[in-house]
Amino acid sequence: MKNHAHPPTADASANVELAFSVVSSATALQALRRAVRQARRGLPPMVRRGEAKAAAAAFAQCLRLRAGQHVAFYAPLREEFPTAELMRLAWQRGCTVYLPVIAHSRLRLLRFAALPRPSATPQGRRPLKPSIMRRNALGIEEPATPRHQWRRARELDLIAMPLVAFDAAGHRLGMGGGYYDRALAGTAGRRPWRLGLAHACQQLPRVPRRAWDMPLDAVLTAEGLRRFHLVRP
């Protein structure tokens, strides 16, 4: 599938290369994040939405989503990769869809809460009712679901994650909070399947990796699904 994204500007690309060349500290990592986010922010909203539709169409061709599965997405913040098309696809396939909730902000613990399936209308699907959503400590929307109904990452079949950057080995650079790495700790070689969502401009030659970073099983872009060679059950 062809990628119709606008490439990052020369200045943005230069900033990414400069930041990448000096990554050796937390400060340098933040510089790298800023450079890649600037390139991503340069994509017009229409391009972002078009790439999200193309990515969902590509994902529909694989057999990863099946009826009865429990799959998590996220409520995109600012310029993060849109998830509405993929959530719609998951509901159509008979999956239960989840969003992350912050279980403990100081400890940076993440759990996952199920979303009710939106009712259908002649024009499509109704958006989720505001009454079932709330904003967490980071200003991100999450389901207002009782704690006893939350699930841990290991109880899900697939988790689609936002990312700042990724590389050809499946390493992911997030925003630096460590929420997903903590949630996925101890799940290596088991479920859930770890999927990154990204635009092509977010790929780097190499992403700095720390001991606790959890690699991706695959990344989904407008060009399609790219699987990484990880040992899975």
CB 20 within 8 A of CB 32: yes
CB 126 within 8 A of CB 91: no
Rounded Cα distance, 169 and 72, in Å: 23
- Write out residues in the chain with pLDDT < 50, as ranges: 1-24, 121-122, 231-233
The string of pLDDT tens digits covering residues 75-110 is 998 789 999 999 999 999 999 999 999 988 777 789
Can you give the pLDDT at residue 132?
Answer: 83
Can you give the pLDDT at residue 159?
Answer: 96
Structural domains of the chain sorted by starting position, each given as residue range(s) with its CATH number in brackets: 48-227 (3.40.50.10420)
The string of pLDDT tens digits covering residues 164-173 is 999 999 999 9
Look up residue 12 and give its two tokens. 């943005």
